[in-house]
Chains A and B, each alone.
Chain A
């Protein structure tokens, strides 16, 4: 049985003792550019580097690393809220049990399938299912909903990867989810600061810090080695929380030989019937620092920025290190199937900042030279867990990730894109093909792109 591994005093002390200098910052950035994970002390040094010129250097380093590891691909997904019943009372959340103004509901399997069809019609291929914490949403229920999503197909559309954001389970529960083939299991600790954690989690199972922080240990013990961690920035000091995320990463690496697949960093936002002290709220510049420092600290971990943030900030954040974003997002229950585009705060966990359509987001990404990717190849070819570490081999991204992004994007252009997106997208594919030096690789990609034009789907390297 795993124990709480977060030592607040230790993290605070490392932060307090960090004394950045230009030379130290340079050394740390160089270590990161060599694609090595940073230590707590090194990360603390970057966190305490408050001079504008140091921050600028960190941003530049993060941009360089992002390009080195992830190139010009951005992975796209969309969340799907399955149910908002909740027995927790979290001060910051619109779904808290004491909020009687919110409309409580759980999708039936038929409604869930309608949501999935609506998402597939837009071109979505990857989704994360979101559940409140309720006895109604046990492992059997979650497994049933995952199977229903995988089984639902609309014309050429299908969801090929289902990730989960739900309450921590016991080992037996995780095993049931492993059997139905989930992608990432995501649990956000919200805050790694014990005192703050107790202050904002008034009642319900989530009040137990240890049960939550060891939630992904139990997932690993059940054989799920694809996990995501996160913090709700704004509850406590942001520098401490970054240290908490890194400590969690180090714990998983040391104990299970594999760190988190993704890190998320939502910020507190307006929600129904929620009022919270704004002392630790994170401004845009601080959020950019969080992203850049995380990028440098964990070079191979995917960084997710959701549509909580507005379009302008998301555009800047992508440059600094974000590798995955959601697009065409609806967070109301039944939000995709309902035609109404207006947000209703009484049906949502929080307000979203970027409510653009998937096609609009893709068009902007293309204008910035990014290739939108719906790729799920690694998870379909066993390139996961320990094996995923081969990602570090030079050439892996060029031979697999880049080409697979082009193939999945080509599918989108053929089946779902607007006229203007298709025009710009086709042009960008040709430009990316022209950049490929190895003729054999280029020929193989061209052949598969041709097959997609001939109506073949789900091709990957």
Chain B
């Protein structure tokens, strides 16, 4: 999984404008959401769920519907292969 996460991060970095968007991947640990990595800087806007499966959660800030769809697809490619 480490390799997938690494390549997912690479692709995510290319997909977003890091100046006005923040996206971060988390691992679900019981009630806790554990940070794994982030792309971009804090935007101080509400957090939006971009993608989710039983183990991982991708959150983002300043994500419009179009970008959400694009990033969602990317997330599903890596973490929800049955939802491609």
Contact = CB atoms under 8 A, between A and B. Distances in A.
Contact of B32 (A379, A386, A396, A444): A379
B34 A382 contact: yes
B31 interface: yes
Given A180-B29, A381-B47, A393 B34 contact: no
Given A390-B42, A395-B44, A179 B29 contact: yes
B30 A179 contact: yes
A379 B31 CA distance: 9
22 contacts: A150-B30, A161-B31, A178-B34, A179-B30, A180-B30, A181-B28, A181-B29, A181-B30, A183-B32, A223-B34, A379-B33, A380-B31, A380-B33, A381-B47, A382-B35, A385-B34, A386-B35, A387-B35, A387-B38, A388-B35, A395-B44, A399-B44
A380 B32 contact: yes
Interface string B54-78: 0001010000000000000000000
B79 interface: no
A444 B47 CA distance: 13
Interface residues of A, number: 29
A147 B30 CA distance: 8
Contacts of B57: 382
Contacts of B35: 382-388
Interface string A157-199: 0001100000000000000001111110000000000000000
Contacts of B38: 387
Contacts of B44: 395, 399
| Size bracket, chain B contacts | 10 to 19
Contact of B59 (A147, A183, A381): A381
A182 B46 contact: no
A409 to B, nearest CB: 20
Interface string B1-41: 00000000000000000000000101011111111101000
Given A381-B33, A384-B34, A461-B46, 10 more contacts: A146-B30, A178-B29, A178-B34, A180-B29, A181-B29, A181-B30, A181-B31, A379-B32, A382-B59, A387-B24
B80 to A, nearest CB: 19
Nearest to A388: B35
A397 to B, nearest CB: 11
Given A387-B24, A387-B38, A382 B33 contact: yes
A396 B44 CA distance: 8
A265 to B, nearest CB: 26
B75 to A, nearest CB: 15
A150 B30 CA distance: 9
B10 to A, nearest CB: 19
Interface in A361-410: 379-388, 390, 393, 395-396, 399
Nearest to B28: A181
Closest 4 A-B residue pairs measured CB to CB?
A181-B30, A181-B32, A382-B26, A382-B35
Contact of B42 (A380, A393, A461): A393
Nearest to A181: B30
A178 B55 CA distance: 13
A418 to B, nearest CB: 29
Contacts of A386: 35
A238 to B, nearest CB: 34
B40 to A, nearest CB: 11
A160 B31 contact: yes
Interface in A262-302: none
A382 B32 CA distance: 8
A245 B44 CA distance: 33
B63 to A, nearest CB: 14
Contacts of B33: 379-382
A227 B67 CA distance: 36
A199 B32 CA distance: 39
Contacts of B26: 381-382
Nearest to A461: B46
A143 B67 CA distance: 39
A191 to B, nearest CB: 31
A384 B36 CA distance: 9
A146 B29 CA distance: 12
A383 B47 CA distance: 11
A159 to B, nearest CB: 9
Contacts of A379: 32-33
Nearest to B22: A390
